Homo-oligomer: A and B are copies of this chain.
Amino acid sequence: MSNMGNQLISNVFKALGHPTRIQIIKLLRKGELCVCDILPNIDSEQSNTSQHLTVLKNQGIVESRKDGSKVIYSIKNKEVYEMIDLVEAIILRQIEETKSSLSK
C-alpha cells in the first residue's frame, strides 16, 4: 500500500552510494564517535569527510551532538546496517554466480 515518493527513497539510497560514507557508517557500528576519532580512520581529507557526514545527516542516517569543542556522531536509524547486510548478501550471490559461470 506504500506510496512513498520515489524521490525521497532514492535520496536515502544515494546518500549510501559512496564508499567513504559506507566506511563512516561501519566505523559507527560499535557506537558513537567524535569527528576527531573518525578522521584518522577515513581515507579522505578533513573537509571532505565533514561534507560526507553532512550528507549522511541530511538523510537522517546519522545524527550529532556537541560535547565541548567536539562533535559526536552516531547512527540515527539502525536499519542502515540491515540494509548493508542485504547488499552484502546480493553481492555474495553475484560472486558465486560469476564463479560458476567461469567454471563452465
Complex Cα distance A80/B86, Å?
Answer: 8
Contact call A91/B22, Cβ cutoff below 8 A = no
A71 within 8 A of B: no
Q: How large is the interface on A (under 10, 10 to 19, 20 to 34, 35 or more residues)?
A: 35 or more
Kindly identify, within residues 62 to 104 of chain A, every residue whose CB is under 8 Å from any CB belonging to chain B: 77, 79-80, 82-94, 97
Complex Cα distance A10/B36, Å?
Answer: 24
Which residue of the partner chain, among B10, B89, B90, contacts A17 with CB atoms under 8 Å? Answer: B10
Q: Which chain B residues border A22 with CB–CB below 8 Å?
A: 6, 9-10, 13
Q: Which chain B residues border A19 with CB–CB below 8 Å?
A: 5-7, 9-10
Could you name 18 residue pairs across A and B whose Cβ atoms are closer than 8 Å? A2-B88, A4-B88, A6-B26, A9-B22, A9-B84, A10-B16, A12-B91, A13-B17, A14-B17, A14-B18, A15-B17, A60-B93, A60-B97, A77-B93, A80-B86, A80-B90, A82-B86, A83-B86
